[in-house]
Chain A
Amino acid sequence: MSDSLGNAAPETGAFFPRDRRWHPPALAPGYKTTVLRSPQRPLVAFSNTLSEMTGPAFGHSLLGELDNDLIHNFARPGESAQGPRIIVHGRVLDERARPVPGVLIEFWQANAAGRYRHKKDGYLAPLDPDFGGCGRAISAEDGSYAFRTIKPGPYPWPNGVNDWRPAHIHFSVFGSGFAQRLITQMYFEGDPLIRHCPILATIPDPAAIEQLIAPLDLGATIPMDATAYRFDIVLRGRRSTLFENRLEGN
């Protein structure tokens, strides 16, 4: 049920173990919802089998013409979403710094006023009739991706009495194996709410937080149209198969 991904040899090695000290822990009491939703027993670890090393692939035929344009993909004819027009672009790489081509990237976000088009969002900021809030793209042969959108607004949320989310875009990324599946959030350089965010603060290492902050990329802006932010995404790498015996079933 997928298109061909070109002539590249399929990725079949086992993945590097996940560095769980780099990710936020399941239990992070400053983000209150984690308290009752965090498993408390140790995870059971095992080496990858085919069930973890394989994963679904999605072809370009999945994509609609405006899937990578949130400014227009929900707008009425002749209209466009309100807010600062931006381009978000980058590359999907693995931990060995190799491009990861052909992977589906999905993104979703609030509108320029900080409001989501979702029945659970009760923020008093207005909906934008020309903004839906989701899009998707597939990485190219060099791992690159890009989409147009508007810069989302910050918004309050019921965690502490006065907690605000910095402006952010949610990313969902597939790899070539199910064990690479990842959801994260991209933040914007210079946002003063970043250092007050309880969800970002679940990440223990400041260098890991910085990995989620996209810099302004003037080199990719389009004059008189849109500014640009660059966000590279790194997925788990696969072990090299140098000198490895061919395993039964491989």
Chain B
Amino acid sequence: MPQALHYLKETPSQTAGPYVHIGLLPNFCGLQGIYPSDLGSRLVNERTLGERVSISGRVFDGAGEPLRDCVIEFWQADHAGLYPSPSETRGAADPNFAGWGRVGADPATGIYRFDTIKPGRVPFPGGGLQAPHVSLWIVARGINLGLNTRMYFSDEADANAGDPILARIEQKSRLKTLIGERQGDAYTFDIRLQGADETVFFDI
């Protein structure tokens, strides 16, 4: 027998369940008095650098119904393409930008919305730049392991055309599922869990 390697196995995922709001967004679901505010409710403040935009949309199930109980988390670079993270070694990101946010779908309409800034471009390992994008992580009842996807920006067509991750997608007809459509300062980004226009989800 060779020596043992002693790696551990990642803790298996379990669904966030229908009561995920109690843990992640207690004030949002009416559980007040434990935390002063819900974590991740503000990505920007009045001094944050960059172009102010909002991103909103809905997450649809295989029957075309919006999920009214999902929680979405966002992670993105600042206006200069730097992440506000200890693992960011290229420089210091904008101290007035959180980079990470969390929202719950509206319990009546299923609409989510968050206010942020448009991110800068982030290098790709081995060279080149990625197009501006926001990473998303979606959890809900009926989702056994959080879903990873990205939103790119419709007004960045040239950058999107050269993005090395988008280039990995074999069916070019699916690219549109990753593009938030701009109208004014607002982007609409709907996510479809199933169907002909199923969103591209990533194994990262």
| A-to-B contact residues, CB < 8 Å | 1-2, 5, 10-12, 14-15, 17-20, 22-26, 28, 31, 33-41, 43-58, 62, 64, 67, 73-74, 93-97, 106-108, 110, 116-121, 132-135, 170, 172-173, 176-179, 181-185, 199-200, 202-203, 207-209, 211-212, 233-237, 247-250
Question: Is the beta-carbon distance between B123 and A132 smaller than 8 angstroms?
Answer: no
Question: Is the beta-carbon distance between A211 and B122 smaller than 8 angstroms?
Answer: no
Residues 121-164 of B, flagged 1 when their CB comes within 8 A of A and 0 if not, give 01111110010010101011111111110100000000000000
Known contacts A12-B87, A182-B13, A199-B14; is-contact A170 B20 (Cβ 8 Å): yes
Query: Considering only CB atoms, which chain B residue lies closest to A26 in the complex?
Result: B144
Size range of the chain B interface in the assembly:
35 or more
Query: Nearest chain A CB to B131's CB is how many angstroms away?
Result: 11
Contact of A23 among B13, B29, B201 (CB under 8 A): B13
Known contacts A31-B144, A74-B33, A181-B146; is-contact A44 B13 (Cβ 8 Å): no
A55 to B201, CA, bound (A): 19
Known contacts A106-B23, A184-B13, A234-B10; is-contact A247 B126 (Cβ 8 Å): yes
A18 to B204, CA, bound (A): 8
Question: Is the beta-carbon distance between B22 and A117 smaller than 8 angstroms?
Answer: yes
A249 to B97, CA, bound (A): 21
SS class, residues of chain A in contact with chain B: loop
Query: Considering only CB atoms, which chain A residue lies closest to B171 in the complex?
Result: A41
Question: Is the beta-carbon distance between A134 and B22 smaller than 8 angstroms?
Answer: yes
Question: Is the beta-carbon distance between A19 and B31 smaller than 8 angstroms?
Answer: no
Query: Considering only CB atoms, which chain B residue lies closest to A110 in the complex?
Result: B19
A26 to B7, CA, bound (A): 25
Query: Nearest chain A CB to B166's CB is how many angstroms away?
Result: 10
SS class, residues of chain B in contact with chain A: loop
Query: Nearest chain B CB to A61's CB is how many angstroms away?
Result: 12
Question: Is the beta-carbon distance between B137 and A178 smaller than 8 angstroms?
Answer: yes
Known contacts A23-B12, A39-B201; is-contact A49 B22 (Cβ 8 Å): no
Which residues of B have CB within 8 Å of A250? 89-90, 125
A176 to B100, CA, bound (A): 13
Q: Does B84 contact A (CB under 8 A)?
A: yes
Which residues of A have CB within 8 Å of B184? none
Known contacts A18-B203, A22-B12, A235-B11; is-contact A38 B100 (Cβ 8 Å): no
A7 to B57, CA, bound (A): 41
Which residues of A have CB within 8 Å of B143? 26, 34, 37-38
Question: Is the beta-carbon distance between A44 and B19 smaller than 8 angstroms?
Answer: no
Which residues of B have CB within 8 Å of A177? 85, 87
Known contacts A46-B204, A56-B99, A182-B13; is-contact A51 B77 (Cβ 8 Å): yes
Question: Is the beta-carbon distance between B201 and A34 smaller than 8 angstroms?
Answer: no
Which residues of B have CB within 8 Å of A110? 19
Question: Is the beta-carbon distance between B198 and A41 smaller than 8 angstroms?
Answer: yes
